Chains A and B, each alone.
Chain A
Amino acid sequence: MNSVEPIQPENAPPASTNLVKLPLGLLGFEPVKQFALLADPAEKPFAWLKAQGEAALAFVVIDPFVVVPDYKPEIPDADADFLGLTNAGDALLLGIVTIHAPNRATMNLKGPVVINRHSHIGKQVIIANSADYSVNHPLPVAAS
């Protein structure tokens, strides 16, 4: 498979089963493998990928399709197999957000975190068409 469908907010994993395992960690943070995906409605559409058991490691994440509705990430077959993705609906995609300043944030579209919505196993995938997208895609934000 090489494309995934946009994920609607109502399809996000429910709070009671929001643990996510990244067997290979994130690039630069490989030893950290257990996370919780947490969303505070007041911070919509941002959510948190919070390391479990580690001190204070967390990433702000966002559904990339909220900002780029026609995002077409090509997931390499080896990664789809690793995650056990049999169809586009199996995958939840999260863009890691960088907060540069109180009024400037960007998201990574080259390396989304792809999560199998049934198994809650995830991986940071470098998409095959990474040249088409930015690691720092601007988000429409204002200082809170």
Chain B
Amino acid sequence: MLILSRKLGESIVIDDRIIVKIMRVDGDTVKLGIEAPASVTVHRKEVHDEIQVNNKAAALKPGLPLPKFAQTKASNPPSTGG
């Protein structure tokens, strides 16, 4: 892991196309600004990992039958707003 120190307002450049800037430092919370091409996904790591694990568990193992969906006709009254 490459470890760099940056001050508020300073940035790092990754692969000549991704910029990470320290926007704000507030106690133990650092606000980062990220500029990256649309083809590069950027996620908070813990949510990313949680979804990656979830996808792998969901990827179908052959032979497991689909359960029957219990069609609960949840009547949804039209919302009056608010």
Task: Give me the interface of A with B, judged by CB distance under 8 Å.
Answer: 23-24, 26-29, 43-46, 56-60, 69-70, 78, 81-82, 96-99, 102-105, 108, 110-111, 124, 126, 130, 135-136, 139-144
Contact = CB atoms under 8 A, between A and B. Distances in A.
Interface in B40-56: 41, 43-44, 47-48, 50-56
B55 A27 contact: yes
Given A108-B55, A111-B54, 9 more contacts: A26-B55, A60-B60, A99-B64, A104-B67, A108-B58, A126-B44, A126-B47, A136-B54, A140-B70
Contact of B51 (A27, A78, A142, A144): A27
Task: Determine the main DSSP class of B at the interface with A.
Answer: loop
B60 A108 contact: no
B58 to A, nearest CB: 4
